[in-house]
Amino acid sequence: MKIVTVVGARPQFIKAAVVSRELRKEFEEILVHTGQHYDHNMSEVFFEELDIPKPDYNLGISGGTHGKMTGEMLIEIEKVLLKESPDAVLLYGDTNSTLAGAIAAVKLHIPVIHVEAGNRLGSKSNPEEVNRILTDHASSLHLCCTDSAKEYLSREGIVDTAYVVGDPMYDAFQFYSNKVEHDVAETLISLYNEKLELPEKFYYMTCHREENAGKDETLIEILSAMDSLDEKTIYPVHPRNTQRVKRIIEEKGYRNIIACKPVGYLMSVYLVNHAQKIVTDSGGLQREAFFAKKQCVTVFDYVVWPETMIDNRNQLSKPCKKEILNKLSNPQIVSESHAFGDGYSCKKIVAHIKEILKNEEKKYEREIAK
Ligand code: UD1
Ligand code: UDP
């Protein structure tokens, strides 16, 4: 049986890396890269480092408004689906690439499998929330990372097709943390030391959301907080914000922030595992902080991953210097949690896909027999 997987953004490459490895033991997989993220260090580096198979199609679509980007992807993904005629389409998360894949597939009556289904923050002003809701309602199989995600789906009437499988980001983080510490730590450090001047102690920050990094006012609050800390902050900057970050750091004379280009996933895992604390607005990084038992402050208005918030392990903050510093100084209790699974979510994902496709096949045979 054939599965078409659609990816396009950095976090999707990471999930695909671990799921594809498992999926390809059972299915033929056709990998479609929409092109949403395209710089070498936002795309290719992940394929190289994580041994992700080369995409069968790269649609080369990026930038523009949400509607234009999603619409162009929809047109091109439909062409691929008509040509490949897959048994199902596999999608990850909540990007515009996810939504385009969902609409293209459901309109062609191809079952949609959504990994990372069910997360909700409760506001349609967030573009990812819109993508999640619409994708979930077009999907035939909902594979949730956590119990809370399954619960959100049940409130929207999605019950029989939803399963908690754990988080493939946790599988990836465990697998690659091990690799980083055992096989590649020295190479990574020597490689990045030249570029990053990696200090022994540091904070790790990522900040790319429009609400935070899209205007001077908020970004200055965040950077000013980080600059005032006792150790340096390493800040790999999303390409959309490079100019603004560079200008503000120069204008304000911040000396305690090492802003650099986006790093590969292995280096990011290293930074998570070795940071004092983490400040981010990334859905992926706040979970990774939790996996590594590092205190995290998430600069965002909404809780997307409620399981990470126990015992102040992850705290929300407004983009406000005082609040960020205040939250960072709160004491942290590291409690045990298995909220994101046991590190084998990929196997569960593939088992559920096999099951649903077996049922689809039976349904088809029954229809033919009629
Ligand atoms: C997307 C996802 C978001 C995810 C984020 C980072 C949506 C709606 N949002 O947001 O959930 O957190 O990816 O993984 O899909 N750009 C480059 N080079 C690149 C990629 C982007 O220069 O390789 C620039 C382009 O000018 C582009 C802008 O960044 O217009 C924004 O990129 P886009 O993919 O639209 O949104 P993200 O903010 O990356
Ligand atoms: N990440 C990375 N390099 C960086 C910054 C982040 O590899 O320079 C990784 C990070 O470890 C996490 C993922 O990218 O696994 C998060 O992706 P992103 O923040 O782009 O998207 P989100 O998780 O917010 O959807």
Ligand 1 centroid – CA 37 distance (Å) = 6
Output the pLDDT for position 196: 79
More confident residue, 62 or 188: 62
Q: Which of 37, 142, 208, 352 is catalytic?
A: 208
Task: Provide the strand spans (E) within the chain.
Answer: 2-7, 28-33, 57-58, 88-92, 112-115, 141-144, 162-164, 202-206, 232-236, 257-260, 278-280, 296-299, 314-317
Alpha helices in 233-344 (DSSP H): 242-252, 265-274, 283-291, 321-329
- pLDDT at 186 exceeding the cut of 80: yes
Query: Quick one: which atom of ligand 1 is closest to the CA of 283?
Result: 12
Alpha carbon distance 288, 268 (integer Å):
10
Question: Would you call 238 a catalytic residue per the annotation?
Answer: no
From 324, 216, 228, select the one nearest 279 (Cα to Cα): 324
Bridge partners of residue 143, in order along the sequence: 115, 163
Q: Name, in order, each residue with C-beta under 8 angstroms of 241's C-beta and a sequence gap of 6 or more.
A: 207, 208, 213, 214, 219
Range in 89-93, 196-200, 230-234, 293-297 with the lowest mean pLDDT: 196-200
Take atom 2 of ligand 2 and give the residue whose Cα is closest.
265
CB atoms within 10 A of CB 117: 29
Q: What is the pLDDT of residues 313-336, one digit of tens each?
A: 999 999 999 999 999 998 888 888
Alpha carbon distance 209, 114 (integer Å):
23
Indicate if ligand 2 lies below 6 Å from the C-beta of 349. Answer: no
Query: Quick one: which atom of ligand 2 is closest to the CA of 282?
Result: 24
Q: What does the pLDDT average to over 107-127?
A: 97
Output the pLDDT for position 59: 98
Indicate if ligand 2 lies below 6 Å from the C-beta of 14. Answer: yes
Amino acid making up residue 204: Y
Alpha carbon distance 57, 31 (integer Å):
7
Site to probe by mutation for ligand 1, drawn from 44, 98, 133, 240 as the one with most ligand atoms within 8 Å of Cβ, is: 240
Q: Is 197 left (phi over 0), alpha (psi -120 to 50) or beta?
A: left
Take atom 28 of ligand 1 and give the residue whose Cα is closest.
240
Output the pLDDT for position 370: 75
Query: Quick one: which atom of ligand 1 is closest to the CA of 63?
Result: 30
Take atom 22 of ligand 1 and give the residue whose Cα is closest.
239
Indicate if ligand 2 lies below 6 Å from the C-beta of 283. Answer: yes
Alpha carbon distance 4, 7 (integer Å):
10
> What token pair was written down for 143?
């594979």
Query: Quick one: which atom of ligand 1 is closest to the CA of 282?
Result: 12
Q: How many CA atoms lie within 13 A of 42 on its CB side?
A: 16
Query: What confidence tier does 22 reach under pLDDT thresholds 50, 70, 90?
Result: very high
Take atom 17 of ligand 2 and give the residue whose Cα is closest.
11
Indicate if ligand 2 lies below 6 Å from the C-beta of 94. Answer: no
Q: Are 133 and 153 in contact (CB under 8 A)?
A: no
Q: What does the pLDDT average to over 155-183?
A: 96
> Starting at the edge strand that comes first in sequence, how are the strands of the sheet with 202-206 ordered?
257-260, 232-236, 202-206, 278-280, 296-299, 314-317
- pLDDT at 48 exceeding the cut of 80: yes
* Residues above pLDDT 70, as percent of the chain: 99
Q: What does the pLDDT average to over 127-150?
A: 98
From 355, 326, 204, 172, select the one nearest 274 (Cα to Cα): 204
Residues having CB closer than 6 A to ligand 1 are: 9-11, 36-39, 42, 63, 94-96, 127-128, 208, 239-240
Site to probe by mutation for ligand 1, drawn from 66, 91, 238 as the one with most ligand atoms within 8 Å of Cβ, is: 238
Query: What confidence tier does 364 reach under pLDDT thresholds 50, 70, 90?
Result: low
Calculate the average pLDDT of the chain: 95
How far apart, in Å, do the first and last CA atoms of the chain sit? 23
